[in-house]
Chain A
Amino acid sequence: MMATRCRVQLGTAARFTLPVFALTMSACSGFQSALDPKGPRAAEVARLHWTLTAIATAVYIIVIGALVYALWRASTREPFIDEHQYHENPDQAGVMKRGVIIGVTATAIILGVFLVLSVSTGSAVATVRGDKPLRIDVVGHQWWWEVNYDDPIPQNQVKTANEIHVPVGRSVLLKMRSSDVIHSFWAPNLSGKKDLIPGHETVTWFRADTAGVYRGQCAEFCGYQHAKMAFYIVAEPRVDFEHWLDQQRGPAPKATDSLTQTGERVFLSGACAMCHTIGGTGAGGNIGPDLTHLASRRTIAAGTLPMTTGNLAGWILDPQSIKPGTKMPPTQLDPQSLQALLAYLGSLK
């Protein structure tokens, strides 16, 4: 009876493992995954992950194995017969003592190994690789990311939002501040997270070794739309990056045809200019993201929606239904004004 039960327990364990294993593997590829590293920081941690998981699994199997063995062995012994049953006999005591000491020593040694692995990985990821990293300032807002490319020459500084372009193979140093509450900058494909804390300036770095688009998300609860405060890191070859940076440095493209000119007028005369800046025009609001090169971005609303005319229209008319609680108010526009505005914003490449 007891032996059967033990066998049943082992069988159940086996039946669990295969689907679990398959599921675990699903984290391996995919975006915003810590197990799909595209840079040295994330790669070190991914390596650490597999090592630790392997050791932990082995330890678990051994300890549970010991437990199951103990249950089976104890169940198959003779039942107690006399009043000395409650005390262990001296032989048993010896075996148990040895077993516990071996277990504890093995635990301590394995923990020592963990500690060494952990500290060495920590040192490896802490120091910025390479010299002359690209310097970017990030300011966290509720619920979007302000991105400033630092440069000693003021007219070369770039201000954008929610999208960070970086050259492949060059380290990027981020200096981060928060304008309101605590946020956390986390792009799992590239590095671990770092908090943005009001009153402190925090620093993190990463390097993208493969070209691609990597998603990151705020990882510290910051209010209603914490769930939809994402950003994209676009790693591209150096030439493309320089080209992008040059384009971003320029003012907004001038409105040429009548539709876009109407749209510009709608933007400047309405509520938009109260909060947003479009470089080269009279709109100088600095409460919301800089929209100078809005149409060059892949997403709007901090990574929530892809940049399309329809999404932009929906966002402008009623942001509260997409991100309830966001600071951007709904804007009432008649259809012609809306189309003009969309045409103008679509021209801001």
Chain B
Amino acid sequence: MKVCARISVIVLVGITLNACKREQRRFRETPPSATASNAIVMSTLQPGPSVVETGVRNPYEDNAYAVAEGKRLFDQMNCSGCHSHGGGGIGPPLTDDEWIYGSDPENIFSTIVEGRPNGMPSFRGKIPNYQVWELVAYVRALGGLQGKAVRTTRDDHMMFKESEQARDKGHPSPTFVPPTSVKQ
């Protein structure tokens, strides 16, 4: 009985903390947590002792409002122009398990802010950092990498794909394959 009570307390605390994070609405970010792009690295090779932990955290991981805002920004900043609501077109699809430049939040942040070879524009200075983090949260949701309760559901448009909440959990491939040059 006591064990039962303890377990249920832990479960309740877990649910509530998750609920706290999921339902937060943060309208203003204090500057330090809204930036921090210097610590992101793209290679695991480093001189001297390797620093594995980048120390960069997406403040919006597991936040439903941020994922919804990210969805709004995805449409309004015309990401769909190349990525077509996640299905890909000119740009690669975002709903599959292949993440060319990595699926961790700091990798996606870097992709958006710096741009990437082969056509991804750089949005540095065009979108404030906290909105980039919201986009990061949404892109991860597109890939099935956010909790089900946090992902957005259908929007009020014509339904052209299953909603982010309906899809299965994503399993990003652990290594990325750099794009090979076109063979003659």
Instruction: Please tell me whether chains A and B touch each other in their complex, using a CB distance cut-off of 8 A.
Output: yes
Q: 17 A–B contact pairs at CB < 8 A?
A: A198-B156, A224-B27, A270-B125, A270-B126, A271-B125, A271-B126, A271-B127, A274-B77, A274-B127, A275-B76, A320-B27, A320-B28, A324-B28, A329-B127, A329-B130, A330-B28, A330-B128
- Which of B31, B72, B76, B127 is most buried by chain A, counting CB atoms within 10 A of its CB? B76
B57 at the interface (CB under 8 A from A): no
Q: Classify the interface of chain A: helix, strand, loop or mixed.
A: loop
Structural contact, B76 and A287, CB atoms closer than 8 A: yes
B124 to chain A, nearest CB (A): 10
**What 10 A-B pairs are tightest by C-beta distance, nearest first?**
A320-B28, A324-B27, A329-B128, A287-B76, A320-B27, A325-B27, A271-B126, A274-B126, A329-B131, A270-B125
B42 to chain A, nearest CB (A): 25
Tell me the bound Cα distance from A175 to B111 in angstroms: 43
Picked from A324, A325, A331, the residue with its CB within 8 Å of the CB of B128 is: A331
Which residues of B lie under 8 Å from residue A330 when comparing CB positions? Answer: 28, 128
A236-291 contacts to B, CB under 8 A, are 269-271, 274-275, 287
B116 at the interface (CB under 8 A from A): no
Tell me the bound Cα distance from A325 to B127 in angstroms: 17
B25 at the interface (CB under 8 A from A): yes
Tell me the bound Cα distance from A287 to B127 in angstroms: 13
Which residues of A lie under 8 Å from residue B125 when comparing CB positions? Answer: 269-271
Tell me the bound Cα distance from A271 to B125 in angstroms: 6
Closest to A332 in B: B128
A321 at the interface (CB under 8 A from B): yes
How many interface residues does chain A have, given as a range? 20 to 34
Closest to A287 in B: B76
Tell me the bound Cα distance from A269 to B126 in angstroms: 8
B64 to chain A, nearest CB (A): 15
Closest to B131 in A: A329
Picked from A287, A318, A327, the residue with its CB within 8 Å of the CB of B28 is: A318
B126 to chain A, nearest CB (A): 5
Closest to B25 in A: A325
Additional 17 contacts, C-beta under 8 A, given A271-B128, A324-B28, A329-B127: A270-B126, A271-B125, A271-B127, A274-B126, A274-B127, A287-B76, A320-B27, A320-B28, A321-B28, A324-B27, A326-B27, A327-B72, A329-B128, A329-B130, A329-B131, A330-B128, A331-B128
B67 to chain A, nearest CB (A): 16
Tell me the bound Cα distance from A332 to B72 in angstroms: 22
A331 to chain B, nearest CB (A): 7
Closest to A286 in B: B76
Which residues of A lie under 8 Å from residue B130 when comparing CB positions? Answer: 329
- Report B70-114 CB contacts with A as 1/0, cut-off 8 Å: 001000110000000000000000000000000000000000000
Which residues of A lie under 8 Å from residue B128 when comparing CB positions? Answer: 271, 329-332
Tell me the bound Cα distance from A230 to B126 in angstroms: 28
Tell me the bound Cα distance from A271 to B123 in angstroms: 9
B132 to chain A, nearest CB (A): 10
Tell me the bound Cα distance from A180 to B68 in angstroms: 14
Tell me the bound Cα distance from A54 to B77 in angstroms: 56
Which residues of A lie under 8 Å from residue B25 when comparing CB positions? Answer: 325
Closest to B75 in A: A287
B17 to chain A, nearest CB (A): 24
A296-349 contacts to B, CB under 8 A, are 318, 320-321, 324-327, 329-332
Which residues of B lie under 8 Å from residue A271 when comparing CB positions? Answer: 125-128
Closest to A327 in B: B72
Tell me the bound Cα distance from A114 to B50 in angstroms: 83
Which residues of B lie under 8 Å from residue A224 when comparing CB positions? Answer: 27
A53-112 contacts to B, CB under 8 A, are none
